[in-house]
Amino acid sequence: MKIAMKAQLIAVVLASILAPTTAAVPAARAQASMVTGAVTSQPIGHYEFCRQKPNECNKRLASSPAPKLTPRGWSLMKSVNASVNNRITAMTDKEIYGREEVWAYPKDAGDCEDYALVKRRELAAKGFSLADLLITVVRKPDGEGHAVLTVRTEQGDFVLDNLHNEVKPWYETSYTFLKRQASFHTGRWVSIENGRDVVVGALR
């Protein structure tokens, strides 16, 4: 009996030691999700992107609650964010195309919205719904515009950012959140009503 209990205790300890850190899914908290408002203007870069790739922007999506974030989903979000950040070299549209505001899938170089597009595509290919993969326009503490990918989950909205390999809840970033893709249509955008309520100290 004592031997069996000892073996069981060892198994429990080993399981706790060997459990992957990716299984630690963040817990939900107040203001974990963005509050979105009415349909608003589409960023000019996304408008031009949609003209070039209409199939990317004409999908109507069923309205549904945000899904529960599983350990596998959390692991995928973190690995895709870091992988894309490491594969793509940061360059401005002016440097790449000779003009401003070009949204495109990058080959090896791109700017913030290009990173977001690739992450969105890769997570969708791994089973995430496009209704939960939303390109989001924010303002950095220095006033500069920026784009990230936010992922809707039952535990809240998380930010995949080309400036950080760490995936963070939106309220732990330094950004002011302005608008994002609508969860019901890939070509529509909605305002973010509480985007300034949770801004914290500048990170960079």
What domains are there in the chain, each with its CATH number?
A: 36-192 (3.10.620.30)
Q: What is the mean pLDDT of residues 25-33?
A: 73
pLDDT in tens, 157-171: 999 999 999 999 999
Residues counted in the chain: 204
pLDDT digits (tens, 9 = 90+) for 77-91: 999 999 999 999 999
Identity of the amino acid at 20: P
Distance CA 173, CA 152 (A): 16
Give the separation between CA 51 and CA 104, rounded to whole angstroms.
12
% of the chain exceeding 90 in pLDDT: 76
In this structure, what DSSP letter does residue 131 have? G
φ, ψ for residue 201, nearest 5 deg: -60, 150
Of 24-38, 123-137, 178-192, the poorest mean pLDDT is in: 24-38
Task: Please report the pLDDT score of residue 19 as a whole number.
Answer: 36
Taking only the tens place, the pLDDT of each residue in 9-19 is 434 333 333 33
Question: CA 165 to CA 126: how far, in whole Å?
Answer: 19
